[in-house]
Amino acid sequence: MSVSVLGAGAFGTALAISLAQNGPVTLWARDISDLLATGESPKLPGHKLPQNIQITQDLDRAVTNDVLLFSTPMQSLSGLLNRINSDLTDKALVACCKGVDLRTGRGPVGILSAAKPDATAAILTGPSFADDIARGLPTALTLACSDDDMGKQVQHRLATPNLRLYRSTDTIGAELGGALKNVMAIACGAAIGAGLGDSARAALMTRGFAEMTRFAAAQGARPETMAGLSGLGDLALTCTSELSRNYRLGLSLGRKQAFDPAITVEGAATAQAMDRIAIDTGLSLPICHAVAALTQGRVTVDDVMTQLLSRPLKEE
C-alpha cells in the first residue's frame, strides 16, 4: 500500500521519516521551500529526510496513494478536506491529529467520515512525541478503524521496527482519549506552574481520567479503549512532560507568563468544545469546564482550584 503524509509539521515529518523504513513515502506541505532547501522540516530540526521521501505541494498528486495520513492541526482538518476534489473511494484516511472541531463538535474520524463517506476513516493516536519517533525510539500507538480488515492492512503497512501499532475498532474511544487528555494536560501544567505540587497533579490526572471515561462512555466508547494507549497511556505522557505543548501552556498559565500564540495547542479549543457539549448534555465535566474558563482568561488558577476543591464531597 502506498502512503502519503499530509502535513509537514513535527509529527507528520516524524511519521514520514519512520515510515520511509518500509518504502517510499510522499510528504505533502503547503510550502516546501524549506524542506527542499535544507532537507528537513523547520518544525522538526535536526532530522534529515531520507532519500525515499518524495516532497510535494501538489495535493492532487499526494492523494493518489492508498493510505493518507492527515497530520494537520485539528481545527484545519476540515479546510484541508474541502480542498480535495479527487475520488477517495477505497482509500484509508487516517487522522493523526487530536481534538474536537469547534464548529461541528466532531472528532477527527467524524470529520473524515462526513467529508469523504466513500473512504475508510481511521485514527492513529497514543503516547508519542515527534522527536522520539524521528530518532527511532520505541513507540506504541493505537490504530483504530471500524473496518477491521482495512485496519489490518493499514496496521501492517504503518508498523516499523520502532513503531508498534495496536489495532482497535473503537474509533470513538480512540479519538476521545487523544482529545481529552490534552485538556487534562493543561490542567496539570497549570497546577505545577502555580506551585501546587505533584500530589495535586496526581489528583487531577486521576479525576481527569474518570472524567474522560465518563464522557467517552456516554458517546458509546468502550472502557478498555480509555484504559489503553490512546487514553491512559497518552494521558500519562502528556501530563508529565514539558515536551507536551498542552502541558507547557498550562505551566505558563500557572506561572502567569505569556505563551507563544504561534504554537498550536489543541487542548484549549477542545476544552471549549467539551464545555459546550457538557452544557447541552447535562454531563458533569468540571475539569473541562475549568480549563475552558482558564484558557479564555475568565478565571485564574487560584479561582479554578477553589472551585474544584469546594465541590460537594462524594464517593469515588
Give CA 79 to chain center in angstroms: 17
CA of 173: how far to CAs of 112, 121, 169, in Å? 16, 14, 9
Residue 314 neighbours by CB distance under 10 Å: 5
- Find the catalytic residue in 43, 181, 256, 314: 181
Report the DSSP beta bridge partners of residue 164. 140
- Residue 228 · residue 142 · CB < 8 Å: yes
Burial label for 166, CB within 10 Å (0-12, 13-18, 19+), is middle
Q: Is 116 a catalytic residue?
A: no
E strand segments, the chain: 3-6, 25-28, 53-56, 67-70, 92-95, 120-125, 139-145, 163-168
State how far the Cα of 5 lies from the Cα of 15, in Å rounded to an integer.
8
CA nearest neighbour of 84 among 64, 59, 109, 111: 59
What's the grid cell of residue 253? 498559565
What pairs with residue 69 in β-bridges?
5, 94
Grid coordinates representing 231 are 487514553
Catalytic residues: 181
